[in-house]
Each structure stands twice: as structure tokens, then as C-alpha cells.
Structure 1
Amino acid sequence: MKQYIYGKNTILEALKGDKSVYTVYVQNNAKDNGIIEQCKRKKIPFKIVDKSEFIKKLGNVSHQGVMAEIEEYRYYSIDEIINTIPDGKQPLLLMLDGLEDPHNLGAILRTCDAIGVDGVIIGKNRSVGLNGTVAKVSTGAIDHVKVAQVTNLTRTLEDLKKRSFWVVGCDLDKSQDYRQVDYNMPLVIVIGSEGFGISRLVKKSCDINVVLPMVGHVNSLNASVATAVILYQVYNSRNPL
């Protein structure tokens, strides 16, 4: 299967990596920032096309005048993710429960790459998958963060708990301040959807529920912002100054 990605940083990261890039398309009046040179060096076909080609393949998105046809993004199994965690490292996984906004997923992958999250788990149903928008917003992080797509989030959590993982849900209900938790253990951090939070069955599988205290007028943060806050708290807890 093939899919299209777009945006200069996204294309450059794909060209630098091991992903199969079949064809790169550059808009005839765009500055390619070295993309054509990279294509020539790696012997990847490229075409100079007009704007109509971008509209036909992508629709009306902000593509920065460059897109590429690539092999479809692959998903990893949970075992593959766990088996690549270095010895001596406290495992850190992130589960996204019902996240539907590709911009949020892209921003979350960017944070996960910065923090060193070992893998991200998403559901097959009612969740956004890996696509061109996610790739663009992640600015290349999509190529460095392993993502698993599973049928049943609750069953996956129960299996991970049998492997000594603790599950921390970010939720408003019966929760403690996220700054009071010890994160020095194998962890799965669970973030809920933009509108509904963590689903009931997934919440029941959480060992600890944490809340990000807020003193303003709104009662929740954007999912990608909440993810960044709690992941950096995990990082700080594990890597004190």
C-alpha cells in the first residue's frame, strides 16, 4: 500500500530515513530547500508539477509545495515495541484512547520523540491513524516513534499489567495531583479523547488517576498539551537535576 505525505520537513525526514519513497512531487514555483538534491543523491524519482496535481492528490491542505508518494506507515506489535526497549531503561508507553484529531496526534508524536517514549498505542476504531497530516504536524517524528494499533485497549492494558507495567490515567475523576506520583516504574500513560476523556473500561484498568490542576475558567487542556505536561513530569521524575 502507498500513501502521500507533504510538507518540507516531513519529506526531508523521509528522505533521510529508511522508508521507501517512490516519487517526490515539487510544485513548479516552490523553493525545495534541498529536496531535489536529496532525491538525486538517493536516486529517487521526482516530478515538477503545477498546483492542480497537489489539489488532485491532497485536496486543500498546506503542503508547502512538496509531497511524496511513500510506502504506507507501518504499525508495530506490542511485543516489537517492548523488545526494542534498551536494557536498564524504565519502559514508558503512551496510550491514546479515542483521539480523533490528526493535528493532536502529530504534536503528541513530536513530544514523544523529544521525551524518549518507547511506543504509542492507539485503537483501530474511533481513533485517527498515521496519515499525511499527522506526518506533517509531527515534523518527522512519525519516522522515529513506534506506534501500535490494537483492537482492544482494555485487553492490551491488562496484558501489559501482567508484564509489570503500571497504568496511569490522566483524568478529572477521583484523581490525585500529577506532581505527587512516583513515575520510576514501567509505565503506560493513558490520555483520553478531546471531547470525552478516558472511556469507562479503560479507566477501570488504570492503577492511578492523575489530574493536571487548573485555576482558570476552562476545565481541561488540549490533549497534546496535557500529554506534553505529564510526559515531561515523568522525564523530570526519572532524570532529576
Structure 2
Amino acid sequence: MLLYGRNPVLEALKAGLVQELLVARGVEEALVKELKGYDVRLKFAARIELDQIAGTTDHQGVIAEVEDLAWATVDDILDRAEQRGEQLLIVLLDGITDPRNFGAIIRSAEVLGAHGVVVEERRSAPLSATVAKAAAGATSFLPVAQTKNLPRLIDQLKAENVWVYGAAGEAAQPLARLDFDRPLALVIGAEGEGMRRLVREKCDELVSIPVRGQVQSLNASVAAGILIHHAVSSRVAR
């Protein structure tokens, strides 16, 4: 798979996933020096050649050849929390099909301290270069898993004493009223449509993010970031 953009490529280099790099002639000497610090082959080419290979001009002068991104398993995510001795914090995505939103949620989850992200197999954007770029390299470090049936997975998590909170703009419960200091799954629904009815009904609580402006809804990736941050901060504060 081709991976492009400076942050995603540098994170993939740190993770040891890159064997060869294609670099545009004329990029900053500081970037070339940083790239040469890794045990990887560098090839230089005209920027227009990188445009053609990536199919976009948004490559920032560097393209990496890496193995295709691999799906983790839900068990990988549960094990990650256990190995760290932390209460589980998992993000479940119900119908996030925009790859940039998907990547941004992965980035927020990794940066803010969630243990992994799970999507339903037929209701998600695939793991792709666009997702990896939007995630700014977080796909190299955070397990992202698929499930065939999200409502069934929610039942399985609840059987393991995991609480499930679903984000819903019309929910009566604001963030401050809920207990986040417990094993927790946060459900983020699709842009505009929100969670499916069955997924919504499976949630233990529906939670809303207070808004003060005239626009009454948040982008899915922004909402996910706020919820993850609040969950982690609530645990640290106790």
C-alpha cells in the first residue's frame, strides 16, 4: 500500500513498516536528513511523478511503500487494556463511511488514550491510505478492528461488565452527569443519521455534548474526541 504525507510516513518509519521511500526533489533539507536517519532506501523523483503515483498533490513530497494496513481483533483491544492495567475504553463506530472522519477518530483515540476502535464490517470506510493520512500515523500504533455485527458485539461487551454510552445530540444526559470511571465503550454514529435504532437501544446511556452556538451538532470526529477526552480526564481526576 502507498502511504503519503509527512506525519503518516514518519510514524510508519518509527514503527519499522517502511522499506522504500520516494521523495520529491527540492523538499526541505531538514526532512531529507530526518528520513536518512532511518534504515530505508530513498529514491528521488520530480514532484509531478509523485502527484501521478499518489493520485493527489497532497503527498507533501514523500510517499512510502508499506504493507497493507491489517485489521486487529476485538480481543487485541481488550488485551491492550488488560496489559496496561487500565479500565477499558473502546470506541465503536456505527456507519462512519467517510475515510477522513474515520482517520481523524483513530488519531484522536490514539492520542487521547483509548485502547482501540471497532467498526462494523459492511458499514465502514476501509483501511486505506486516505484513512492513514487523516490519522497522521496513528494506524501504526492503535488497534482498529472489525466486527460482523455491532449490536451483537455490544451485547458481548455488556456481558463482560462493559458499560456502553452512545453519543446522541438529543440525549437528556449531558457529559457531567455520567460516570466514566468504569470499563466503557463509546458509540459514535454516522454523520447526519446518528446511530441505528438497534444500536441506540443497546446502549446503557445516551449522552449529549452541551453546545452553546447556533449550530446544534458536531462533526463525528470532533464529538468522538470530546467524549474520549472527557472519559480519560474524568478517570485521572478521581
Q: What is the TM-score when the length of structure 2 is the normalising length?
A: 0.91
Task: Indicate how the Cα distance of structure 1 residues 12 and 87 shifts in structure 2: closer, same or farther if over 3 A, else same.
Answer: closer
Secondary structure of the corresponding residue to residue 125 of structure 1? coil
Structure 2 partner of 1:95: 92
Q: Aligned to 1:218, what secondary structure does the other structure show?
A: coil
Shift of 1:87: 5.4
In structure 2, the partner of 1:188 is 185
Runs of 4+ in 1 over 6 A off after TM superposition: none
Report SS of the residue matched to 2:237: coil
Q: How many residues align?
A: 237
Q: Find the aligned partners of 1:65 and 1:77 in 2 and give their Cα distance.
A: 34
AA paired with 1:91? L
- What is the correspondence of 1:33-52 to structure 2 with a 5 Å cutoff? 33-35=30-32, 38-39=35-36, 41-42=38-39, 44-52=40-48
For the 8 Å contact 1:93–1:121, the answer to whether it is kept is: yes
* C-alpha distance in structure 2 between counterparts of 1:105 and 1:35, whole Å: 30
Distance 2:218 2:34 in 1: 42
Secondary structure (helix, strand or coil) at the match of 1:74 reads: coil
CA offset digits 1:26-64 (Å, max 9, x no partner):
11222264456645741x232212234323322124110
Query: Which has the higher mean CA deviation after the structures are superposed, 212-221 or 145-154?
Result: 212-221
Contact 2:4–2:60 (CA<8 Å) still a contact in 1?
yes
- Is 1:114 aligned to 2:119, yes or no? no
Structure 2 counterpart of 1:58: 54
Write the distance in 2 (CA, Å) between the matches of 1:238 and 1:81: 19
CA distance in 1, matches of 2:177, 2:57: 42
Residue in 1 aligned with 2:102? 105
Residue in structure 1 matching 2:230, options 225, 233, 241: 233
1:163-174 alignment runs, 5 A limit: 163-174=160-171
Q: Secondary structure at the match of 1:196?
A: coil
Name which of 172, 176, 181 aligns with 1:175: 172
**Structure 1 CA distance for aligned equivalents of residues 128 and 36 of structure 2:** 22
Corresponding residue number in structure 2 for 1:124: 121
Post-superposition offset of 1:121: 0.5
Change (3 A) 1:25 1:73: same
Structure 1 residues 191, 41: closer, same or farther in 2, change over 3 A?
closer
8 Å contact kept, 1:5–1:11: yes
Which residue of 10, 14, 17 corresponds with 2:15?
17
Q: CA deviation at 1:182?
A: 0.5
Q: Give the corresponding residue for 2:201.
A: 204
SS of structure 2 residue aligned to 1:148: strand
Tell me, in whole angstroms, the C-alpha distance in 1 between the residues paired with 2:109 and 2:37. 32
Partner of 2:64: 68
Q: Percent identity?
A: 37
Q: TM-score, normalised by structure 1?
A: 0.90
Structure 2 gap segments, 5+ residues each: none
1:214 matched residue in structure 2:
211
Looking at structure 1, the residues matched to 34 and 90 of structure 2 have their Cα atoms a distance apart, in angstroms, of: 37
Residue 2 of structure 2 corresponds to which residue in structure 1?
4
1:95·1:121 contact (CA, 8 Å) conserved in 2?
yes
What 5-or-longer segments of structure 1 have no aligned partner?
Answer: none
CA distance in 2, matches of 1:218, 1:38: 43
Q: Output one character per residue of 1:192-226: Cα deviation in whole Å (capped at 9) or x when no partner.
A: 11121111111111110001122322221011111
Contact 2:13 2:38 (C-alpha < 8 Å) held by counterparts: no
Q: Distance in 2 between matches of 1:24 and 1:240?
A: 44
Residue 141 of structure 2 is aligned to residue 144 of structure 1? yes
- 2:76 touches 2:143 (CA, 8 Å); kept in 1? no
Hey, what's the Cα distance between the residues in 1 that align with 2:130 and 2:29? Answer: 19
